[in-house]
Amino acid sequence: MDLIPPQGIKLVLVDVDPKFIDFKDTLQIFNVSDNALMRPLELILYRPQQKG
């Protein structure tokens, strides 16, 4: 990724594995140890354009 996040923002790279991700389904992102204090307020999916 050629992105530089602002302070307080975390970038996460999601590998597309057809065993776990089906483009016809809703992508659900969660953390099993999540709690209300640590939960992000928003999530933005950035998908760069494919070259060529």
For the chain, what are the domain ranges?
1-52
Picking from 20, 25, 23, 19, the residue whose alpha carbon sits closest to that of residue 47 is 23
For the entire predicted model, the pTM comes to 0.48
8-31 pLDDT tens trace: 888 888 788 888 888 888 888 778
Q: How many residues in the chain?
A: 52
Q: Mean pLDDT throughout 17-46? A: 82
Instruction: Compute the average pLDDT of residues 30-49.
Output: 80
pLDDT averaged over the chain?
81
